[in-house]
Structure 1
Amino acid sequence: MKRRASTAATLPDELVVEILARVTDVPAVFRCATACKRWRRLIADPFFLRDCWPKCAHHPPSYVLGFFDTRIKPPVTPAFVPLPRLAAGLGRNFIVSFPSGCAALLDHAVALASRGGLLLVRRKVDEEGNILRSTVHQLVVCDPISGTCNVLPRLVCQGSFGEHHAILTDADICSSGQRPLRGFPASFKVIVLAMHHGLFTLHTFSSGDPSWSSTKQCFEQPGGRRPLVFGPPNAVVCHGAPHWLVWNWAARFPTFFTLGVSAETSHVFLTKISTSYFSHLHDFPRLSVSAEGALSLLCLRKDGRLLETWTRQDNRESKDGGPDWLPSPVIEVNLPKQRRIHEAGPYVCLSERNGVLLIKDTDEHRVYLADIKAGAPIEEVTDSFYGLSSTKGIVPFEVDLLDFFISRLGSE
């Protein structure tokens, strides 16, 4: 045993790095880093991490760590539910941390959106709006990895049917798409979109600005006077612009649109999606971003076995005049066969981010987690998400792997 340990210790760093680079599972890499100081130093080296993901040197790969669940009471700070395999391998407190000084600041805070390791939350505000039918919001941008918080100026929203939020990071708003590896991002941008009878009010705040900026935009309601209905509250960010899925019931089947916001011009744009794709599906589709960075749609079949996907083709025009959507190969989900196929379901997809799905069996009220990108086994997480019936209050939390590794491992 002593001879083997001595032999391993004499291996050159180059060979050890070559061996460690073959470990692709994130929890396994962390466990390797805790084996000894030497391995920790080698793994925490930014050059090693870049070599692990050479195609993503300027756009670090995103990784879903878990979900913030604002339904959990009492919400002293936003409750975090890590992916089971991460919690088992790393520990819940190792993944995210809110310092004790933030407890009062984040008391009863509600998670709204996340992006690139940043979390946007809304604090409870006792003050009522001083304008008729207005609401006062106190938003905070948190970095749960470094444990820092940035309190934004208060925002007054008037007479809306609800607000929809997004947060952008340096990788979204910088032309180069590159962001620092260490510490709090140099800049961020918060977008709050409020809608009222076809009138959109866009509130934006950029780090370093003294106050919010607000613009109004009105366009004709598609499908007559039927109001637009927002889908899942979590926006997806594609090419630096947040997008939401919206629809109205102007016909027998809902008409779907993507609603996007330009981060540069603050222009709100609505793009129709052909309804022929979804007339046979029982569940509403969800917006996502493909591995190639294109806007995509996904929808889970009723039996929970297959996931249908479509990818937007900006260079091709559909019959409706908008961008065409091409179907992609169907993805097998393979949920547990607890009942016969004709009795199974209906299954619905409650949340998706970067290939990680929360799926609910609405008959047996079971919740499953599927990581289709990693190909990990399906896990039942009913106990962690007991009573979950919709996406409201659930915010997926993903980080840039390079930032997360360096922040947690350090460089020694």
Structure 2
Amino acid sequence: MEDDYAAPHLPTDIMYKIPAHISDPASLARLASSCKFWRDLIKDPTFLDRLRRQHRDHAFTPSLLLGFFLQDKKHHIDKTRCLAPSFVPISELSRFVGSKSARNAIEPLSLETFIPGLGASLNFYKPFASQDNFLVLCRQLKVDNGQDMKDVLCVCNPLTGETFEIPHHRYVPPNHYVLFVTNDVDSYGRVSQSFQLTAIFWLKKAKSFVCVCYSSKTGTWTRAEGEPELMPDLYLVSCSAAASGGVIHWLCGTSEQMSLTHVATLHIENMGLSYLELPPEAKRIKIPVLANSADGGILLLFMQGLEMSLWKHTGALGSDSSSSWVLSEKIDMRSSLPQRVATLGSRAKVRLEMFGGKSGVVVLRVIGEGLFLFSLSDGSMREIDSVTKDYFLCPYEIDWLSCLAITNLVVDGSLSQDVERKKAQDRWRTLMGMNLATNGAS
């Protein structure tokens, strides 16, 4: 075997500059996996700090979306057929170009592919939230002679193979679960992750929020102090929410105008509410979607006919002014959609399902055609499903720091036994699909 420390035959100053020009996490992972020289350089705290500042100004990074965890809703209803959630890598999706598409022949991967031993223990669970490598699964059970329901929760990390059983909370199933992940660095520079799972209850009559939070550090649920009330005359559009950095954004409208008017932001730490007025163009739209960008900003995406508009909020949170929104991009979707849909024009039924603010990918449901994945970064379209099945669908979007952390785990000998290191490598390569070379450093 060649010396893993062997460095490329280039001037030292040039070698140190090369990684600084790479912002794509999959490319950095490939470089870090090639030899110890690059790995040690990329793991250096000075490089990571510089890369973090660079990434905050970076645009969409499509490779952050590794794929989708999904479950067929019909199988979920049929208790005799419902299996654990499965995974479809982005690298396996057929590229769709206008009226032509190669049909998918995908056999979704079982969750047991990444976390051996789960098997039937996660049957009947549905995926419904993910953040920076972690995936939240939920199953509802009837209690008290079938009169009430309770949630059974599980959080897992398919990249590391970890599974966390979450204790029951004593509340009825909430309106939302939101996952917040924190990268923790100890005094030795080692990166680990902790998470907070927040259950949001929306009290319609009181128009107020109640939150209970589970911390992976304490292993307990606690109820947040305070029950903030929504501003008078506003109603909540609960189907469109975006969460990041301890805040959750919802779209709101007024009953008087019967249209969307604001983004309401709930700050979990102090249970405070702030508001942001929507741009006038968005107030006439029925179903826009929200997302958080890589730099922590708010993104708003909506369709008008077959034209997609992307807006970004550039001001501080709490500045209630529509002038702080900037139109980032307008995209004509006619050349990307199936020809039959494009010819219908404004009569076509295209619905925005999900929007990944870091990766810049949008899930579209085209009525009569199926689910499609559109990339705002390069304009490509991929087919998720060519039929009209209905899924519990959860995008698996990772963070670039987490990406490098698991790369270090795979290749630097942190795992004491070779067999465990090999398992970690296999999980990593399976999830990344074609985004990562199969020959890593040993």
Listed one character per residue, the Cα deviations across residues 113-165 of structure 1 (whole Å, up to 9, x for unaligned) are 1111111222454x6159x975322222211110101112101224x7x4201
Mapped to 2, the partners of 1:115 and 1:306 lie a distance apart of 26
Report the secondary structure of 2:397's partner residue: strand
Q: In 2, are the aligned partners of 1:66 and 1:82 still within 8 Å (CA)? A: yes
> Given residue 336 of structure 2, which amino acid in structure 1 is its aligned partner?
P
What residue in structure 1 maps to residue 312 of structure 2? 310
Mapped to 1, the partners of 2:252 and 2:89 lie a distance apart of 32
What residue in structure 1 maps to residue 134 of structure 2? 118
Listed one character per residue, the Cα deviations across residues 178-220 of structure 1 (whole Å, up to 9, x for unaligned) are 99765x51x2211100112224221111123253112461526
Mapped to 1, the partners of 2:109 and 2:29 lie a distance apart of 14
What residue in structure 2 maps to residue 3 of structure 1? none
Cα distance, 1:356 vs. partner?
Answer: 1.0
Go from structure 1 to structure 2 and tell me whether the alpha carbon gap of 1:275 and 1:27 turns closer, same or farther (over 3 Å shift): closer
What residue in structure 2 maps to residue 191 of structure 1? 198
1:299-378 maps to which residues of 2 (within 5 A)?
299-303=302-306, 305-314=307-316, 317-318=319-320, 324-332=323-331, 334=333, 335-336=335-336, 338-339=339-340, 343-344=344-345, 345-353=348-356, 354=358, 355-362=360-367, 364-373=368-377, 375=378, 377-378=380-381
Mapped to 1, the partners of 2:187 and 2:67 lie a distance apart of 24
TM-score normalised according to structure 2 size: 0.68
Work out whether 1:56 is the aligned partner of 2:23.
Answer: no
> Given residue 77 of structure 1, which amino acid in structure 2 is its aligned partner?
A
Q: In 2, are the aligned partners of 1:193 and 1:202 still within 8 Å (CA)? A: yes
What residue in structure 2 maps to residue 202 of structure 1? 211
Mapped to 2, the partners of 1:206 and 1:166 lie a distance apart of 12
> Given residue 64 of structure 1, which amino acid in structure 2 is its aligned partner?
L
% identical equivalent positions: 17
Mapped to 2, the partners of 1:23 and 1:200 lie a distance apart of 42
From 218, 223, 233, the counterpart of 2:233: 223
Listed one character per residue, the Cα deviations across residues 330-370 of structure 1 (whole Å, up to 9, x for unaligned) are 243645251485623332221111211112222x4233212
From 288, 291, 304, the counterpart of 2:291: 288
Mapped to 2, the partners of 1:369 and 1:189 lie a distance apart of 29
Mapped to 2, the partners of 1:400 and 1:203 lie a distance apart of 25
What residue in structure 2 maps to residue 4 of structure 1? none
Report the secondary structure of 2:305's partner residue: coil
> Given residue 146 of structure 1, which amino acid in structure 2 is its aligned partner?
T
Q: In 2, are the aligned partners of 1:296 and 1:311 still within 8 Å (CA)? A: yes
> Given residue 336 of structure 1, which amino acid in structure 2 is its aligned partner?
S
> Given residue 56 of structure 1, which amino acid in structure 2 is its aligned partner?
R
Mapped to 1, the partners of 2:363 and 2:188 lie a distance apart of 30
> Given residue 179 of structure 2, which amino acid in structure 1 is its aligned partner?
I
1:113-152 maps to which residues of 2 (within 5 A)?
113-125=129-141, 128=143, 134-152=148-166
Work out whether 1:398 is the aligned partner of 2:397.
Answer: yes
Q: In 1, are the aligned partners of 2:112 and 2:119 still within 8 Å (CA)? A: no
What residue in structure 2 maps to residue 211 of structure 1? 220
Cα distance, 1:250 vs. partner?
Answer: 0.7
1:32-43 maps to which residues of 2 (within 5 A)?
39-42=34-37
Mapped to 1, the partners of 2:187 and 2:210 lie a distance apart of 30
1:15-30 maps to which residues of 2 (within 5 A)?
none
Q: In 2, are the aligned partners of 1:241 and 1:260 still within 8 Å (CA)? A: no
Identify, as 1 or 2, the structure richer in helix: 2
Work out whether 1:168 is the aligned partner of 2:189.
Answer: no
Mapped to 1, the partners of 2:398 and 2:162 lie a distance apart of 15
Mapped to 2, the partners of 1:349 and 1:56 lie a distance apart of 31
What residue in structure 1 maps to residue 435 of structure 2? none
More relative contact order, 1 or 2 (CA 8 Å, 6+ apart): 2
Mapped to 2, the partners of 1:79 and 1:43 lie a distance apart of 34
Cα distance, 1:56 vs. partner?
Answer: 1.4
Report the secondary structure of 2:315's partner residue: strand
Cα distance, 1:26 vs. partner?
Answer: 5.9
Report the secondary structure of 1:222's partner residue: coil
Residue ranges of structure 1 left out of the alignment (5+ in a row): 1-8
Aligned residues: 373
Mapped to 2, the partners of 1:94 and 1:21 lie a distance apart of 37
Report the secondary structure of 1:12's partner residue: coil
1:264-275 maps to which residues of 2 (within 5 A)?
264-265=269-270, 267-269=271-273, 271=275, 273-274=277-278
Mapped to 2, the partners of 1:394 and 1:192 lie a distance apart of 19
Mapped to 2, the partners of 1:137 and 1:196 lie a distance apart of 18
